């Protein structure tokens, strides 16, 4: 579904990603972990074509990114960015409808079918009562749900999320992860998300990719790669990993900090 081959990319002369090699099959649920500045956002932005790459290639459905038109790409990949600012205020319904933009013909307006798709998504994400509310008047968790709803309206096979729940309380973090897990299972979407919540990634994701200084440090199932040694190499922090007694997945605990 998504292949990243010896990818080198960055900003102008500054190379951030070095020879990144990753392959994601259809329907996978994967978390991208790494310290600040590792190049995680750069990787997602390169995958959706916002940033050019200098060497290597990105294949989407076996076809090089260079050969996709923007419109076609938007029907296949959705990126939910970390920062989302609006120049004008829109209602929740209007914003989610914008996800249908790649399907509009020239001069065409949103159809009844588009509105129906949006209504179904809003219902699925418990947002129906918010349809006519202004985005600026929502809480952080509601805003995140709206951005997921908008990406869902794009009806893509691949969904990328940049720190989908960094500023949310733990209950809303779980809620977002649960929604994503459902989308992944029911719709068979490939989901790649950047996260700083190691335990949630371990519990929900089938695969973890660790990125440091623009290189893949480890890649595998949570049980295989979430361990003290890798976390130390990744974050340069002394952390302790134990097995969750209920789920048997590796979980991070804080050791004696003195
Ligand atoms: P992460 O998302 O893992 O925290 P980023 O991909 O945002 O890291 O950043 C990786 C590196 O690229 C950092 O050193 C950052 O300073 C640099 N960088 C990010 N955005 C830009 C930009 N627009 N122009 C130049 N350098 C940038
Ligand atoms: Mg980032």
Q: Could you give the CA distance from residue 10 to residue 51 in angstroms, rounded to a whole number?
A: 7
- Asked whether residue 7 falls in the same domain as residue 60, the answer is yes
Region 128-135 average pLDDT: 95
85 within 8 A of 91, measured Cβ to Cβ: no
Q: Using the predicted structure, report yes or no on whether residue 234 has a pLDDT greater than 90.
A: yes
Q: Could you give the CA distance from residue 164 to residue 173 in angstroms, rounded to a whole number?
A: 8
- Asked whether residue 69 falls in the same domain as residue 112, the answer is no
Region 211-236 average pLDDT: 96
Region 74-89 average pLDDT: 84
pLDDT (0 to 100) of residue 89: 87
- Asked whether residue 59 falls in the same domain as residue 164, the answer is yes
**Which residues hold their Cβ within 5 A of ligand 2, which is an ion?**
40-41
Number of domains comprising the chain: 2
pLDDT (0 to 100) of residue 255: 79
Tens of pLDDT, residue by residue over 109-118, are 889 999 999 9
Region 2-14 average pLDDT: 95
> 37 CA to middle of ligand 2, Å?
7
- Asked whether residue 4 falls in the same domain as residue 67, the answer is yes
- Asked whether residue 5 falls in the same domain as residue 95, the answer is no
Name residues whose C-beta falls within 8 Å of residue 11's C-beta, 6 or more positions apart in sequence.
42, 51
Q: Is the CB of 38 under 6 A from ligand 1?
A: yes
Q: Using the predicted structure, report yes or no on whether residue 164 has a pLDDT greater than 90.
A: no
Q: What confidence tier does 256 reach under pLDDT thresholds 50, 70, 90?
A: confident
Lowest mean pLDDT among 63-77, 142-156, 160-174: 160-174
Q: Could you give the CA distance from residue 99 to residue 114 in angstroms, rounded to a whole number?
A: 9
245 within 8 A of 258, measured Cβ to Cβ: no
Say if 257 falls within a structural domain. Answer: no
Say if 213 falls within a structural domain. Answer: yes
Say if 195 falls within a structural domain. Answer: yes
User: What is the pTM for the complete model shown?
Assistant: 0.93
Q: Using the predicted structure, report yes or no on whether residue 258 has a pLDDT greater than 80.
A: no
pLDDT (0 to 100) of residue 241: 95
**Parent domain of 214:** 1-76+157-172+183-223
pLDDT (0 to 100) of residue 83: 73
What is the percent of the chain with per-residue pLDDT over 70, rounded to a whole number?
99
Say if 97 falls within a structural domain. Answer: yes
Region 119-141 average pLDDT: 92
Lowest mean pLDDT among 165-169, 185-189, 243-247: 165-169
pLDDT (0 to 100) of residue 192: 97
Q: Is the CB of 32 under 6 A from ligand 1?
A: no
Which region, left, alpha or beta, applies to residue 70 given φ > 0 means left and ψ of -120 to 50 means alpha?
Answer: alpha
Strands 207-212 and 190-194, bridge-based pairing: unpaired
> 41 CA to middle of ligand 1, Å?
7
Region 231-250 average pLDDT: 94
Pocket probe for ligand 1: among 11, 45, 80, the residue whose CB has the most ligand atoms within 8 Å is: 11
- Asked whether residue 9 falls in the same domain as residue 128, the answer is no
The residue whose CA has the least distance to atom 7 of ligand 1 is 41
């Amino acid at each position: 579904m998504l292949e990243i081959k010896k990818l080198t990319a960055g900003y102008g002369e500054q190379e951030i990603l070095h020879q990144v090699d990753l392959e994601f099959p259809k329907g996978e649920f994967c978390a991208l972990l790494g310290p600040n500045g590792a190049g995680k956002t750069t990787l997602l932005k390169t995958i959706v074509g916002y940033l050019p790459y200098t060497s290597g290639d990105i294949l989407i459905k076996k076809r090089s990114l260079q050969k996709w038109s923007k419109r076609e790409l938007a029907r296949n990949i959705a990126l939910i960015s970390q920062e989302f600012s609006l120049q004008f205020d829109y209602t929740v319904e209007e914003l989610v409808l914008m996800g249908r933009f790649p399907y509009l013909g020239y001069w065409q307006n949103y159809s009844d079918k588009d509105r129906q798709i949006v209504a179904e998504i809003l219902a699925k994400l418990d947002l129906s009562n918010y349809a006519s509310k202004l985005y600026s008047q929502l809480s952080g968790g509601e805003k995140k749900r709206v951005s997921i709803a908008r990406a869902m309206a794009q009806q893509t096979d691949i969904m990328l999320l940049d720190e989908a729940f960094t500023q949310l309380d733990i209950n809303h973090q779980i809620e977002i992860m649960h929604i994503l897990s459902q989308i992944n299972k029911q719709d068979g979407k490939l989901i790649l998300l950047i996260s700083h919540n190691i335990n949630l990634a371990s519990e929900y994701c089938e695969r973890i990719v660790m990125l440091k200084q623009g290189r893949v440090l480890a890649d595998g199932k949570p049980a295989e790669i979430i361990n003290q040694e890798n976390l130390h190499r990744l974050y340069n922090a002394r952390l302790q990993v134990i097995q969750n007694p209920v789920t048997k997945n590796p979980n991070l605990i804080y050791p004696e900090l003195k």
